[in-house]
Amino acid sequence: MTIPDTKPVRYLQKWRLSVNLSVSVKMSVTMLNVKFYLDKADKSKQFPIHLVLRKKDVQIKVATGEKIKRKDWDNKNQCVKESEYRHKSINKFLTFLKHEVEKHLETAPPNQLTDKKIKDKIQSLVNSRKSNTEGNIVCENTEYYEGKERITLVDLFAGAGGFSEGFLQAEYGNKLYDFLLGSDINENCELTHLARYNYQLGMDAEFLRQDITEPDFLDDLIKKLKGKTVDVVCGGPPCQSFSLAGKRKKFDKKDDLFAHYLKVIRQLRPKYFVMENVKGILTKEEGRIQEMIIQEIRSIVDLNEFNQLIQFIADLKKVEKEDSFILECYNLRLQFESATDKNLEALKEKYLQNIENSFRVLTPKIVDYKTSKTDKDIITIRHGFNLLKRTSELAYIRKKVINEKAFCDIDSDYFVEDFDNFLTAIEAETIVDKINMSFKRLKPSKEYAVEISEIIKALEISTYSFDECMDGLKTFVKKANREKQFEEILSHIRLYNIEAPFVALASNYGVPQNRERVLFIGCRKDQKLIKEVPPTVSEKERVTVFEALYDLDFVGNDDEKFNYEQVNLKEKYNGSYNKMVSLLRKRSLDGKVDERGGLTFAEWSKRGRLNGRFANAKNPFYVRNFEELQSALTHVVAPLHNHKTSKQNGDVLKRLEIILETGDYDEAKKKLKKIGLDSEKRNYNVLKPDSQSPTVMTIPDDYIHFSSPRALTVREMARLQSFDDSFVFQGKRSTGGNKRKLEVPQFTLVGNAVPPLMARAVALEILKVIK
């Protein structure tokens, strides 16, 4: 359905009118007097704090639920003194309560300003906080799980929790997900996780805030899991900086995250794992990067079947005696797969020592004694072996240099090439290449060519992945005419099956956003292969931006709302009212159109999509930090959170108005330049109410609301990502400059998240087939 031009100017006039009206209302509100006072003491000589609202002959009193001693009350400043140990939390609540009451009186329609309705409103704010501060933190309904099979879940690179949220929404038959643990490196990810899943929903899910590349990450992960078996692992490790043959040219801080993600998979051996990434990974370096990723996934072996392969190679050595040295190298290299971290270093050293011994025997054959001590190429080969034995130490140096490179913003300057050259120089593949070149420069006699080629090949094998080893063995297998036996062993040994990644378009799963993501779904060999996740909505049924945001359009410039307000669509859209309302469709939870028993997308967002599973959940709340999280009295409890706009000056508002009126930033640039309001900002996306939004990123002012000249709020961006309104993004709202390297504020949490409804579709597909 397309909407003809609905005159954005009319929206702007309405928006300006609402601003003017709010100013006039504020003038009348100055006559109000909202104060706190101490009521009569109770038996324990504690004085209840009451809020009183006076206007002319009207007086409304409501108990706040807080009690203190008289000596701890500062009536002049309307606050609790520091002598009361709870003064911070009580004062924070009183300030919030007064602010919300004054705002309600300013913005509520006249029919909501009766004595009873005002008192009910204040009482609801008090009760919301009271219900959150009473009772046990654990509030899961145990009866709900009776007769149900729990599929355990771990969410790595969890971010805000888009995967976790979507998986918790999914149920199929008697199966649902038991969320065991989330992990990320950033503290605001942990804060949001703890607030949502532990404090609000009452789950006992763990969170591991640790760099996945740290040596003790796996040990700490296992401790947190407390012996529980993991059925499904999900996460989105960055793979963008990978280059061919495993080499990384960018030397990004995130380079090794993909490899470490698979290291966790090798350890946990889940039935399924889901890996999400950007679409560009499919075409990077002509598609060879995705092939490398699939190769790495297929390199995860079933250690229970591994001896079959080792025995096969041993038998092959007996037949192919002239190739026994190389086959033994493959045999030793493959034993790396089954080694623990402690044993792995010893195995690698043994492997390299065998090759170095061959070189020592060869050296006097190809050069004299003096040359062996002074020749640069011989010394290079010798030192190359030393470096290859120190791969762990070089990996540590590599990590530290990359971190410093990122911290100091080393990029697009005259330092970057030197840094990258050094990092390239200490990679195993580069060291082997230099050894090879040194052998060639020595120009040894042809009679030693086989020995030299074996040494080089053996060193190359030491850097191979499992899949590359299998490819290398095929020559010997074919020569021995054992292809069928080899393929059968491989079918037993590969722990995970995967055909190819597929592109998932978020709008196909009820998300009002055209966000494309690539999904790799690894299926353990005893589970059914999942090749794709079918759409839950047709192209014509996709959720529109208007459906997602229309009911939140009651916030102005430099404004924050904690309560929902009625949006008068007839007044706001005037002549285009019918066209706009026709966009609103009732749907099932997954986005399918269901006019009989469904809800609108906005209604689902307010109600929540967790299927009544967390009926005892606490009310949504916001905290700034861990200290506030641990004190329930400091929680800001309200129906609506994260709905705050930035303060824009007149020039910015005018610029946004012109872009909105024009409908396109490129078209508006000439007019903006003419009146001196042009900007160096590369892009503004004007949202189209009758279609889906572009990919939601982490910068809010990239988008202009479809009917108001402003950027989106965190809550509006969360709606476009399909998060429930009860999911509150905690901590800082935004950040800038160098802090973006270290901080993950609310806008970043939202923009980087996997849309929960898309995650739910993946989760359901797994539930349908998991054994």
* Rounded distance between C-alpha atoms, residue 367 and residue 378, angstroms: 9
Phi then psi for residue 627, to 5 deg, are -60, -45
Quick one: pLDDT at residue 622? 96
Rounded percentage of the chain residues whose pLDDT exceeds 70: 91
Quick one: pLDDT at residue 28? 46
- Backbone torsion region of residue 104, taken as left when φ is above 0, otherwise alpha when ψ lies between -120 and 50, otherwise beta: alpha
Nearest Cα to 398, choosing from 367, 376, 430?
A: 430
The yes-or-no verdict on residue 155 having pLDDT over 70 is yes
Minimum mean pLDDT among 195-209, 637-651, 731-745: which range?
Answer: 731-745
Quick one: pLDDT at residue 140? 66
pLDDT: is 612 or 317 the higher one? 317
Phi then psi for residue 277, to 5 deg, are -155, 175
Active-site position among 79, 189, 234, 239 = 239
Quick one: pLDDT at residue 255? 54
The yes-or-no verdict on residue 252 having pLDDT over 60 is no
Nearest Cα to 104, choosing from 49, 51, 38?
A: 51
Rounded percentage of the chain residues whose pLDDT exceeds 90: 63
Q: Which of the four pLDDT bands, split at 50, 70 and 90, describes residue 139? A: low
Quick one: pLDDT at residue 321? 85
Mean local confidence (pLDDT), 96-115: 83
Please give the C-alpha separations between residue 705 and each of 16, 463, 564, 660, 716, in angstroms, as whole numbers.
15, 52, 18, 8, 9
* Rounded distance between C-alpha atoms, residue 316 and residue 475, angstroms: 12
* Rounded distance between C-alpha atoms, residue 291 and residue 250, angstroms: 19
Q: Cβ contacts of residue 442 below 8 Å, gap of 6+?
A: 366, 367, 375, 377, 378
The yes-or-no verdict on residue 21 having pLDDT over 60 is no
Quick one: pLDDT at residue 374? 94
Quick one: pLDDT at residue 102? 85
Q: Cβ contacts of residue 112 below 8 Å, gap of 6+?
A: 104, 118, 121
Quick one: pLDDT at residue 257? 84
Q: Cβ contacts of residue 626 below 8 Å, gap of 6+?
A: 187, 191, 194
Quick one: pLDDT at residue 101? 87
- Hunting for tokens 């089954």 — which residue is that? 338
DSSP secondary structure letter of residue 706: S
State the sign of the Cα–Cα–Cα–Cα dihedral 122, 127, 130, 132: negative
The yes-or-no verdict on residue 137 having pLDDT over 60 is no
- Backbone torsion region of residue 327, taken as left when φ is above 0, otherwise alpha when ψ lies between -120 and 50, otherwise beta: alpha
Quick one: pLDDT at residue 56? 65
Quick one: pLDDT at residue 319? 87
Minimum mean pLDDT among 123-132, 263-272, 321-330, 645-654: which range?
Answer: 123-132
Nearest Cα to 351, choosing from 385, 314, 303, 375?
A: 385
Q: Please measure the distance between the N-terminal and C-terminal CA atoms of the chain and give it in whole angstroms.
A: 42
Q: Which of the four pLDDT bands, split at 50, 70 and 90, describes residue 693? A: very high
Quick one: pLDDT at residue 437? 96
Structural tokens at position 218: 């796996």
Q: Which of the four pLDDT bands, split at 50, 70 and 90, describes residue 259? A: confident
Structural tokens at position 575: 């002549």
**Residue 523 is among the residues annotated as catalytic for this protein:** no
Quick one: pLDDT at residue 27? 36
Residues shown for the chain: 771
* Rounded distance between C-alpha atoms, residue 755 and residue 167, angstroms: 11
The yes-or-no verdict on residue 746 having pLDDT over 90 is yes
Q: 453-476 burial, b for 16+ CB within 10 Å, e for fewer?
A: ebbbbbbbbbbbbbbbbbebbeeb
Dihedral, CA atoms, 368, 374, 380, 382, nearest 10 degrees? Answer: 60
State the sign of the Cα–Cα–Cα–Cα dihedral 459, 463, 469, 471: negative
For residue 172, the surrounding DSSP H or E stretch is: strand 171-172
Quick one: pLDDT at residue 9? 39
- Hunting for tokens 């307010």 — which residue is that? 606
* Amino acid (one-letter) located at 548: A
* Rounded distance between C-alpha atoms, residue 487 and residue 160, angstroms: 43
The yes-or-no verdict on residue 736 having pLDDT over 90 is no
For residue 442, the surrounding DSSP H or E stretch is: helix 428-442
DSSP secondary structure letter of residue 112: G
Minimum mean pLDDT among 61-70, 278-287, 375-384, 569-578: which range?
Answer: 278-287
Task: Check: CB of residue 691 under 8 Å from CB of residue 36.
Answer: no
* Rounded distance between C-alpha atoms, residue 241 and residue 255, angstroms: 6
Q: What is the mean pLDDT of the chain?
A: 88
Mean local confidence (pLDDT), 237-241: 63
CB-count exposure of residue 260 (10 Å: 0-12, 13-18, 19+): middle
Which pTM was predicted? 0.80
- Hunting for tokens 């009319």 — which residue is that? 10
Please give the C-alpha separations between residue 540 and each of 162, 430, 600, in angstroms, as whole numbers.
25, 53, 16
Mean local confidence (pLDDT), 681-693: 91
- Hunting for tokens 């989105």 — which residue is that? 236
Q: Which of the four pLDDT bands, split at 50, 70 and 90, describes residue 239? A: low
The SS3 of residue 707 is coil
Mean local confidence (pLDDT), 514-528: 95
Quick one: pLDDT at residue 521? 96
Task: Check: CB of residue 110 under 8 Å from CB of residue 656.
Answer: no
Quick one: pLDDT at residue 681? 81
Q: How many CB atoms lie within 10 A of CB 410?
A: 19
* Rounded distance between C-alpha atoms, residue 160 and residue 718, angstroms: 11
Beta strands in 264-315, from DSSP E residues, in sequence order: 272-278
The yes-or-no verdict on residue 113 having pLDDT over 90 is no
Q: 30-63 burial, b for 16+ CB within 10 Å, e for fewer?
A: eeeebebebeeeeeeeebbbbbebeeeeeebebe
> Tell me: the pLDDT tens digits for 180-234?
999 999 999 999 999 999 999 989 899 999 999 888 999 999 999 999 999 999 9
> Tell me: the pLDDT tens digits for 289-324?
888 888 889 889 898 888 999 999 999 998 888 888
Quick one: pLDDT at residue 402? 87
Counting DSSP H helices and E strands in the chain, the numbers are: 29, 20
Long-range contacts of 136-139 (CB under 8 A, 24+ apart): 136/202, 137/198, 137/199, 137/202, 138/202, 138/204, 139/201, 139/202, 139/614, 139/616, 139/617, 139/618
The yes-or-no verdict on residue 403 having pLDDT over 90 is no
CB-count exposure of residue 180 (10 Å: 0-12, 13-18, 19+): buried
Mean local confidence (pLDDT), 715-742: 89
Q: 572-602 burial, b for 16+ CB within 10 Å, e for fewer?
A: bbeebeebbeebbbebebbbeeeeeebbbbb
> Tell me: the pLDDT tens digits for 64-79?
989 999 999 999 999 9
Structural tokens at position 7: 């005159």
> Tell me: the pLDDT tens digits for 463-511?
998 888 999 999 999 999 999 999 999 988 999 999 889 999 999 999 9
